[in-house]
Amino acid sequence: MSTVLAAGGPLLAKVDRLRVMVVDDHEETRWVIRTILVAFGVQRICEATGYAEVLKKLHAFQPDLMLVDYQMPEHDGLELTRRLRRNRGDPFIPIVLMTSEATPEVLALARDAGANEFLAKPITPVSLRTRLNAVIVRPRNYISSRRYFGPDRRRRSVRLGGLDRRSPEAGPPPSEDPVERALSEQRHEQSAEALLHDLERGTVA
Amino acid sequence: MSVSSIRRPKVIHRISARGFPYEEISLENILGAKLGGPIPDACLHRAERALSALKDQYMEWVYRDLDLLEETLEGGLDDADPARRTDIVLQLRRLSHDMRGQGGTFGYPLVSQVAGALNEILKMPHLSADRLVRLIRLHADVIKRILDNRIEGEGGKAGPKIIERLNTLTEEVLFQEEA
């Protein structure tokens, strides 16, 4: 089990209580998420590459919430979510499903599988914090029936489809130095203009 | 205490409008109480600084993915062997998926857009290997140019035009007559 301690100490004493399990087969994505979580002050992070590893680590780690990738080999994030929701021993762990395919169909599937929240990739600190806070601040009831077991979405169907106001593709904010920012933007625009010019001349690929 | 340690939630038995019995399980806000409130704004700056420090690492990852993409293509994408073609396309989809997922995180949303477009092309089942290879190389080359020139953010006014032009070139390849 990989438990990470924040190098600079937690920002808030209480964030360090959070126990997060990150499930993604892609090592670099786990690294990015871990970096952001550690910066948030989360100290207990457990990583898993798939369903089999989740089963091995779940009860020992006792996560407060899980970040689960949608696209994984063998059991994908939906299947993993469904299986966890069916397991009456651990039915209430909030699950945030992550995907780069934020289509209405995927959102509906995520909801039906029992995911609490949905995080569109590329992941940014803003988008991740927004989704975590949604789970932390607004707990919801669960529905249990023969046909379904998961968070009760009846009162929040509108919000489900809404992604963060700030585009998750927006990336880190620009530099705070206005001169540096202006020069940087100018350089990016010149390079972009040159690329466009080459595309129009057909000299790319 | 973790959320999974909740053992006695309040359970109300209900009947749905269509006559299906179900249980409504009310949870206390255990997680909110445990943390004492949401993750504060101040954390964002720290996280953004931490990600900025990973930017060089990101460049290594994405150039490595581009190299892998080229190596995979050099392995030979051929219509004659459907099973092999499927394997190669799956590898390429995985690489484009990774590039799409990471670009925006590190300030390269254009990379995410182009890699996303490539990922969609790789889902087209009936595209000939010849056209597929041309489109893959076109998209990979655009991604490489964006990275080589460090075109961060949306790329200014040219950014949307690059995507538009790329789409036009893609359509030309997709809809051109077979020779």
Choose among A121, A142, A192: nearest Cβ to B155. Answer: A192
Which position has the token pair 């914090």?
A129
Put simply, whether A200 touches B (Cβ < 8 Å) is: yes
Query: Which residues touch A154 (CB under 8 Å, ≥6 apart)?
Result: none
Task: Indicate if the pLDDT at residue A11 is higher than 80.
Answer: no
Q: Report residue A68's pLDDT band, with 50, 70 and 90 as the boundaries.
A: very high
Q: Is residue B167 part of a domain?
A: yes
**Most A CBs within 10 Å, among B6, B41, B43, B65, to test the A interface:** B43
Q: Is residue B77 part of a domain?
A: yes
- Per residue in B3-38, pLDDT (tens digit) is 444 445 678 888 877 787 887 777 777 788 888 888
Over residues A139-152, mean pLDDT: 71
Task: Indicate if the pLDDT at residue B179 is higher than 80.
Answer: no
Closest approach of chain A CAs to the CA of B138, in angstroms?
A: 5
Which position has the token pair 């399980």?
B25
Contact A39, B50 (CB under 8 A): yes
Put simply, whether A9 touches B (Cβ < 8 Å) is: no
Residue A91's pLDDT is: 64
How many folded domains does chain B comprise? 1
Burial label for A174, CB within 10 Å (0-12, 13-18, 19+), is: middle
| Domain region containing B81 | 55-175
SS (HEC) of A131-147: HHHHHHHCCCCEEECCC
Task: Indicate if the pLDDT at residue B109 is higher than 90.
Answer: yes
Q: Single out the residue of B24, B38, B151 nearest to residue A171, CA to CA.
A: B151
* Calpha distance B113→A100 (Å, rounded): 11
Neighbours of A116 (CB within 10 A): 25
**Six-digit token string for B113:** 């857009």
Q: Is residue B75 part of a domain?
A: yes
Q: Is residue B21 part of a domain?
A: no
Q: Report residue A147's pLDDT band, with 50, 70 and 90 as the boundaries.
A: low
DSSP tag of A117: E
CB contact under 8 A, A191 and B151: yes
Choose among A32, A184, A204: nearest Cβ to B105. Answer: A32
What is the complex's ipTM, to 2 decimals? 0.81
Task: Indicate if the pLDDT at residue B40 is higher than 80.
Answer: yes
* Calpha distance A50→A79 (Å, rounded): 11
Choose among A40, A139, A188: nearest Cβ to B152. Answer: A188
* Calpha distance A198→B157 (Å, rounded): 16
Over residues A60-74, mean pLDDT: 89
Over residues B67-84, mean pLDDT: 82
Residue B113's pLDDT is: 94
- Share of residues in chain B with pLDDT > 90 (%): 50
Planar angle of CA A97, B48, B111, nearest 5 degrees: 65
Q: Is residue B61 part of a domain?
A: yes
* Calpha distance A99→A32 (Å, rounded): 14
CATH code, B170: 1.20.120
**Six-digit token string for A201:** 């001349």
- Work out the mean pLDDT of chain B and round it to a whole number: 86
Residue type at B101 in one-letter notation: G
Put simply, whether A121 touches B (Cβ < 8 Å) is: yes
- Work out the mean pLDDT of chain A and round it to a whole number: 77
- Note which residues in 36-55 of chain A have CB less than 8 A from chain B: 36, 38-41
Where is pLDDT greater, at B167 or A1? B167
Q: Which long-range contacts (CB under 8 A, 24 or more apart) does A159-165 make?
A: A160/A107, A160/A111, A160/A118, A161/A104, A161/A107, A163/A102, A163/A120, A163/A127, A164/A120, A164/A126, A164/A127, A164/A130
Least confident of A60-74, A124-138, A179-193, B143-157: A179-193
**Most B CBs within 10 Å, among A191, A200, A201, to test the B interface:** A191
Contact B163, B114 (CB under 8 A): yes
Q: Is residue B74 part of a domain?
A: yes
Q: What is the DSSP string of chain B?
A: --GGG----EEEEEE-TTS-EEEEEEPP-HHHHHHTSPPPTHHHHHHHHHHHTTHHHHHHHHHHHHHHHHHHHHT---TT-HHHHHHHHHHHHHHHHHHHHHHGGGT-HHHHHHHHHHHHHTT-TT--HHHHHHHHHHHHHHHHHHHHTT--TT-TTHHHHHHHHHHHHHHHHHHSPP-
Over residues A92-108, mean pLDDT: 86
Residue A10's pLDDT is: 43
Q: Strand, helix or coil at A205?
A: coil
Q: Is residue B10 part of a domain?
A: no
Residue B129's pLDDT is: 86
Where is pLDDT greater, at A11 or B146? B146
Where is pLDDT greater, at A169 or B158? B158
- Note which residues in 73-112 of chain A have CB less than 8 A from chain B: 90, 92-94, 100
Task: Indicate if the pLDDT at residue A85 is higher than 70.
Answer: yes
Over residues A31-46, mean pLDDT: 95
Residue A178's pLDDT is: 59
* Calpha distance B109→B155 (Å, rounded): 9
Instruction: List A67's β-bridge partners, or say none.
Output: A22, A96
Q: Report residue A90's pLDDT band, with 50, 70 and 90 as the boundaries.
A: low
Instruction: List A6's β-bridge partners, or say none.
Output: none
Where is pLDDT greater, at B28 or B99? B99
- H/E stretch holding A120 reads strand A117-120
CB contact under 8 A, B39 and A133: yes
Q: Report residue A74's pLDDT band, with 50, 70 and 90 as the boundaries.
A: confident
